[in-house]
């Protein structure tokens, strides 16, 4: 976890929403494929005015990455897929971390819902890339 000044108040409502959404996404992925390895990590986040803090979450499998962010304005959490292919390509081309961070690497932020959980669960358990669309098996399922 990045160092976040712990004297800044923790927004317990938002933090709980981030943790629940992240854990629900992991459960959704496991419901589609109980054997898949899913890694859940938490990091620190500050509200833009630095008056509150919460956690964010990164959920990763062999097939994809989903990030869960605090939504201080709505006292909830939102999640998005991460375009790791773009990140890898930009890294290979020599882009700086700042340039990569400024790129559009996230999908649309969505609130927790049954449909969102199913979508993120599938995203983490299936290969939806070009190779899979062409019927080329590149991972053992």
pLDDT single digits (tens) 6-32: 888 999 999 999 999 999 999 999 999
Q: What pLDDT is recorded for position 103?
A: 83
Q: What pLDDT is recorded for position 3?
A: 57
Q: How far is CA 141 from CA 25, 32, 62, 107, 125, in A?
A: 20, 12, 10, 25, 9
CA nearest neighbour of 40 among 52, 27, 26, 55 = 26
Give me the residues of the chain with pLDDT under 70, please.
Answer: 1-4, 128-141
Q: What pLDDT is recorded for position 102?
A: 85
pTM across the whole model: 0.82
Q: What pLDDT is recorded for position 135?
A: 59
Q: What pLDDT is recorded for position 125?
A: 93
DSSP H helical segments within 12-102, as ranges?
A: 12-32, 84-92, 97-102
Q: What pLDDT is recorded for position 1?
A: 43
């Amino acid at each position: 976890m990045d160092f976040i000044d712990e004297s800044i108040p923790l927004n317990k409502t938002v933090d709980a929403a981030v943790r629940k959404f992240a854990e629900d996404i992991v459960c959704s992925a496991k419901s589609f494929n109980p054997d898949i390895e899913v890694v859940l990590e938490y990091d620190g986040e500050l509200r833009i005015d630095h008056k509150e803090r919460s956690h964010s979450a990164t959920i990763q499998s062999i097939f994809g990455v989903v990030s869960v962010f605090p939504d201080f304005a709505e006292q909830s959490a939102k999640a998005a897929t991460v375009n790791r292919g773009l990140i890898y390509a930009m890294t290979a081309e020599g882009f700086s971390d700042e340039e990569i961070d400024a790129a559009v690497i996230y999908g649309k932020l969505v609130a927790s819902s049954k449909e969102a959980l199913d979508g993120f669960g599938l995203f983490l358990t299936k290969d939806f890339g070009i190779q899979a669309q062409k019927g080329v098996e590149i991972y053992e399922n």
